[in-house]
């Protein structure tokens, strides 16, 4: 399933979606975190988008492992840059999971805090929503940085040898 599609490696196709969509999801998370008025209307959608990003990054990671086994069946033959890319990709999945968890928590605490009943509002102290919003912004920034770091490491594996071999 994660090996090839139309004769091309799935990884090469899905990684471009991840590189574009994960930072956009992070921006959407920042938007609802810093604009409390948007949270009731868009918060659930943003948390759902972040959940989709978890699946996308997981698919990118799985397809990368299939491609890796195809190119380097012997793990000891993998260049150091490849190992860096693999480690960063493994970590990226956890960063995206954290983004989803914090975004979902932001939606939940904001809804509890905005509840019409005083008893419901009192279950979540007033300071919790801004604290979770700050955590959401931090997670969004960190996930974007990790996407860049992971993509850069992968690009170095693929393109650095080609550029070096074509220098005149």
Q: Which residues of 136-165 are buried (b: 16+ CB within 10 A; e: fewer)?
A: bbebbeebbebbebbbebbebbeeeeeeee
Res 124: pLDDT: 87
* Distance (Å) of CA 79 to CA 65, 145, 146, 154, 167: 15, 23, 20, 11, 21
Cα torsion at 43, 49, 50, 51 (round to 10°)? 110
Per-residue pLDDT of the chain (168 residues; tens, 9 = 90+): 889 999 999 999 999 999 999 999 999 999 999 999 999 999 999 999 999 999 999 999 999 999 999 999 999 999 999 999 999 999 999 999 999 999 999 999 999 988 767 667 778 898 999 999 999 999 999 999 999 999 999 999 999 888 988 886
Residue 121, SS3?
A: helix
* Distance (Å) of CA 30 to CA 24, 133, 141: 10, 8, 9
d(CA 76, CA 33): 44
């Amino acid at each position: 399933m994660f090996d090839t599609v139309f004769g091309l490696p799935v990884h090469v196709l899905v990684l471009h979606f991840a590189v574009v969509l994960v930072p956009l999801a992070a921006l959407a998370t920042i938007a609802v975190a810093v604009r409390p008025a948007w949270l009731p209307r868009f918060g659930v959608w943003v948390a759902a988008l972040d959940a989709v990003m978890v699946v996308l990054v997981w698919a990118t990671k799985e397809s990368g492992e299939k491609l890796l086994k195809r190119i380097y069946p012997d793990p000891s033959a993998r260049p150091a840059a490849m190992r860096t890319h693999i480690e960063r990709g493994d970590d990226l999945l956890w960063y995206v999971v954290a983004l989803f968890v914090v975004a979902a928590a932001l939606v939940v605490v904001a809804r509890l805090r905005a509840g019409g009943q005083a008893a419901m509002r009192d279950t979540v102290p007033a300071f919790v929503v801004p604290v979770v919003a700050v955590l959401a912004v931090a997670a969004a920034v960190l996930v974007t940085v990790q996407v860049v770091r992971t993509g850069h490491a992968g690009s170095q594996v693929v393109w650095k040898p080609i550029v070096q071999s074509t220098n005149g």
